């Protein structure tokens, strides 16, 4: 969908997903393929307390912003866009963690898209954020913004088969043996992580450390359960949507005991 949006010059793109689902990784990977055809800027600090939007836009593209008022910043940015377009390059602005932006700031972004005139697309906006961004964009006052979104995609968590394939892929890329993780261990890691790649990475990494410490050649469910029991006893897990505590509390008592 991202490739489609970029190839077909979509003015606005929205990508959402849970924390750790890989949104930023995917966006940066895709945009890296277009680095020769476009100038890419990234805004990562989206909280209103961090300052004015045009200042962050200017910083994203290396434009002078200190001591400039909004009108000057906007004028300089338009000139920058026109200059890049004259060189045959599009300008892509990525806004990460966009769920932190309020309605007024999002409306400012919409106004920026007005720079695109007729069929001449000089600026593409890619908004990346958590599911709350979608709820914000459904507000009546952002109807004009929503109408300009050509591509809208939500990145779901991995299912159990995808989790197995993901673990296998990372092992093979790293030059490891595919049988290091048992099928049952991979399935348990999926259950604990909820299919979120960042949590899968963390669980797998720590499981490898536990297996190595015990001089085991394979990560089994026993290793994963020992890891969870250890971490749970230290109260390190239990915040947000992580499933570690849920597994420990709702499963039978012997679930966390080594088989």
Q: What pLDDT was estimated at residue 111? A: 86
> Which among 155, 173, 191 is the end of a domain?
155
Q: What pLDDT was estimated at residue 4? A: 85
Are 149 and 166 found together in one domain?
A: no
Confidence of residue 232 (pLDDT cuts 50, 70, 90): confident
Alpha carbon separation from 18 to 32, 52, 70, 80, 101 (Å, rounded): 23, 27, 34, 34, 17
- CATH number reported for the structural domain that contains residue 14 in this entry: 3.40.50.300
Are 93 and 107 found together in one domain?
A: yes
Q: What pLDDT was estimated at residue 255? A: 28
> Which among 155, 183, 211 is the end of a domain?
155
Are 38 and 72 found together in one domain?
A: yes
Q: What pLDDT was estimated at residue 59? A: 92
Q: What pLDDT was estimated at residue 192? A: 94
Confidence of residue 254 (pLDDT cuts 50, 70, 90): very low
- pLDDT tens digits, one per residue of 178-212: 899 999 999 999 999 999 999 999 999 999 999 99
Q: What pLDDT was estimated at residue 30? A: 78
Q: Which of residues 166 and 251 earns the better pLDDT score?
A: 166
Report the percentage of the chain scoring pLDDT > 90: 51
Over range 19-31, report the average pLDDT.
85
Alpha carbon separation from 64 to 67, 70, 74, 120 (Å, rounded): 9, 12, 11, 25
Are 26 and 140 found together in one domain?
A: yes
Domain span at residue 9 reads 2-155
Confidence of residue 246 (pLDDT cuts 50, 70, 90): very low
Alpha-carbon span 77 to 84, nearest angstrom? 11
Q: What pLDDT was estimated at residue 50? A: 63
Are 89 and 169 found together in one domain?
A: no
Are 166 and 151 found together in one domain?
A: no
- pLDDT tens digits, one per residue of 61-88: 999 888 888 899 999 999 999 999 899 8
Q: How many domains does the chain have?
A: 2
Burial of 153 (0-12, 13-18, 19+ CB in 10 A): middle
Are 135 and 222 found together in one domain?
A: no
Are 55 and 175 found together in one domain?
A: no
Burial of 86 (0-12, 13-18, 19+ CB in 10 A): exposed
Mean pLDDT across the chain, nearest whole number? 84
Q: What pLDDT was estimated at residue 204? A: 96
Q: What pLDDT was estimated at residue 185? A: 96
- Indicate if the pLDDT at residue 175 is higher than 90: yes
Q: What pLDDT was estimated at residue 118? A: 62
Report the percentage of the chain scoring pLDDT > 70: 88
Dihedrals φ, ψ of 155, to 5°? Answer: -85, 110
Distance of CA 174 to the CA centre of its chain: 23
Q: Which of residues 44 and 252 earns the better pLDDT score?
A: 44
Confidence of residue 49 (pLDDT cuts 50, 70, 90): low
Are 151 and 165 found together in one domain?
A: no
Q: What pLDDT was estimated at residue 257? A: 34
> Which among 102, 123, 155 is the end of a domain?
155
Are 33 and 148 found together in one domain?
A: yes
Are 168 and 151 found together in one domain?
A: no
Are 57 and 166 found together in one domain?
A: no
Alpha-carbon span 57 to 59, nearest angstrom? 5
């Amino acid at each position: 969908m991202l490739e489609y949006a970029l190839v077909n010059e979509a003015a606005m793109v929205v990508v959402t997903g849970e924390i750790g689902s890989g949104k930023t990784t995917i966006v940066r990977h895709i945009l890296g393929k277009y680095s020769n055809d476009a100038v890419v800027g990234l805004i990562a600090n989206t909280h209103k307390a961090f300052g004015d939007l045009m200042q962050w836009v200017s910083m994203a593209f290396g434009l002078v912003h200190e001591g400039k008022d909004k009108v000057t910043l906007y004028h300089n940015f338009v000139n920058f866009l026109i200059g890049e377009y004259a060189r045959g390059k599009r300008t892509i602005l990525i806004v990460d963690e966009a769920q932190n932006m309020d309605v007024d700031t999002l409306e400012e972004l919409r106004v920026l898209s007005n720079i695109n005139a007729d069929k001449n697309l000089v600026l593409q906006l890619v908004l990346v954020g958590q599911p709350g961004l979608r709820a914000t964009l459904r507000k009546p006052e952002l109807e004009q913004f929503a109408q300009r979104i050509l591509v809208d995609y939500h990145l779901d968590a991995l299912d159990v088969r995808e989790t197995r394939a993901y673990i296998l892929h990372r092992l093979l890329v790293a030059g490891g043996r595919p049988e290091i993780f048992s099928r049952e261990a991979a399935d348990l890691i999926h259950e604990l992580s909820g299919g979120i790649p960042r949590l899968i990475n963390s669980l797998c990494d720590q499981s490898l450390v536990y297996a190595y410490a015990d001089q085991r050649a394979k990560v089994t469910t026993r290793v994963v359960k020992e890891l969870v029991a250890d971490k749970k006893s230290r109260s390190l897990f239990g915040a947000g949507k992580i499933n570690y505590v849920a597994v420990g509390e709702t499963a039978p008592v012997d679930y966390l005991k080594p088989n």
